[in-house]
Amino acid sequence: MKPNNITRAIIDATVDRTLREVAEDPQRSIRKLADLGRSFSKKTETLDTVYDIVQDLLRNDDSPYYTAIDRFSRHIDRKGLKNFFINVGYNSLTFGAKIIKENEAAASFYIPWCLILHTNSSQTTSIDAADISQFVKQGNDLGIYTFIILLEGQVSRTTDLLHIFAENSDSAFVCMLPDGLIDDTQFHQMAACTNTLFYYRAQGSHTDENVRGMQTGKLFYGIYDIYTDATADQWILGNRTDTLNQNDAAMVMLVPAETCSQETRLRMGNYIRRLRTQPLYPFIPLEMSCDAMLLNKFVSEETCYFELLESGDILTKDDTVMEYRHTLSLRQMLSFALPKK
């Protein structure tokens, strides 16, 4: 089952018009966009709180978020912004959420709103592009339309993923790229992936050059960095956040290392939420694991989390690590990773 084309067309036209108005009058237009999001989304206490915070922030004419909005306008093509956020907001958190609820009602397991997948061609235990393609198809059948892909190893493997992103235009992809130089052919292929947000490693040896290429093509990009149990306090104390305010990125993601404890993830998640409501920097900060679980509240009363590590283990919100076998379907994997209690 695919998202409703008529509903999608109505949302597409409305969002497109609103984004055009942003460049002319950011304050008024962003308030309208917040109201638009409220009207298109289901009513929940969490969602209302989010939009109230957005509107309160935008009443402050000196909010650093206006610089982030300017970065969106100057560096990113409107079509890419529109397609990505509609795929997340409508296909995933509205249409997909309905399918997830229907499937969960008949299943013995929970279904997350997004899948987080690590891939590394140098590791025999890791999934590859063909596996990811199957995850996307099987995920769509269950109502999952958002996929966070962490590519490790050679940046040349990006090409394999770009074909998947382009072929699955109804899905939204967040792709964390390893440090390495993106070539002209890959930039050209990225232009066709208007459903994808590409993240580059903060202070990577090729990040500046890659970001210039993204800005030239007006492609959707952000900056990410990895934190560990040992480095978390450096972030929380604000000693490292300044390093992310580079490359004119409007989106910034902090990613926990695979070995990072749940306690540290929660502390970082709380830090990022505070930073969003009391912004100090001209970008939208995110924490991968906690924000993935936060958005799951739009879909289900049961918060669930699914991260497939390159080792082949599955990480859930309960810090349970389970062995993964390539022969299992996604439905089978969810049945033993996220069983109903």
pLDDT 10s digits, 68-111: 888 888 888 888 888 999 999 889 998 999 999 999 999 999 99
The letter for the amino acid at 125 is: T
Chain-centre distance for alpha carbon 193: 15
Q: Mean pLDDT, to the nearest integer, of 119-131? A: 91
Give the single-character DSSP code of 183: P
- Residue among 164, 148, 150 at smallest CA distance from 119: 150
Instruction: Output the CA angle 306-308-311, nearest 5 degrees.
Output: 150
**Residue 199 or residue 317, greater confidence:** 199
User: What's the domain count of the chain?
Assistant: 1
Q: Which of 47-61, 108-122, 215-229, 244-258 has the lowest mean pLDDT?
A: 47-61
Query: For the segment 167-215, what is each residue's pLDDT rounded down to a tens digit?
Result: 999 999 999 999 999 999 999 999 999 999 999 999 899 999 999 999 9
Residue 141 confidence class, pLDDT cut points 50, 70, 90: very high
The letter for the amino acid at 44 is: T
Q: Is the pLDDT of residue 28 over 80?
A: no
Residues paired with 174 in a beta bridge: 148, 197
Phi, psi (5° rounding) for residue 217? -85, 0
Q: Is the pLDDT of residue 325 over 80?
A: no
pLDDT at 124: 86
Residues paired with 223 in a beta bridge: 200, 252
Phi, psi (5° rounding) for residue 91? -60, -40
Q: Is the pLDDT of residue 15 over 90?
A: no
Range of the domain at 214: 5-337
Q: What is the pTM of this model?
A: 0.90
Chain-centre distance for alpha carbon 150: 11
Distance (Å, whole) CA 47 – CA 295: 9
- Mean pLDDT, the chain, rounded, equals 86
The letter for the amino acid at 55 is: Q
pLDDT at 53: 53
- Residue among 200, 133, 117 at smallest CA distance from 171: 133
DSSP symbols for 135-161: HHHHHHHHT--EEEEEEES-GGGHHHH
Query: For the segment 29-64, what is each residue's pLDDT rounded down to a tens digit?
Result: 666 666 655 555 555 544 554 565 566 566 677 888
Q: Mean pLDDT, to the nearest integer, of 255-263? A: 93
Q: Is the pLDDT of residue 278 over 90?
A: no
Tokens of 171: 């899905």
Distance (Å, whole) CA 70 – CA 51: 20
pLDDT at 341: 79
Tokens of 300: 């289900």
Distance (Å, whole) CA 116 – CA 102: 22
- Residue among 6, 304, 327 at smallest CA distance from 143: 304
pLDDT at 45: 46
- Residue among 88, 100, 98, 99 at smallest CA distance from 11: 88
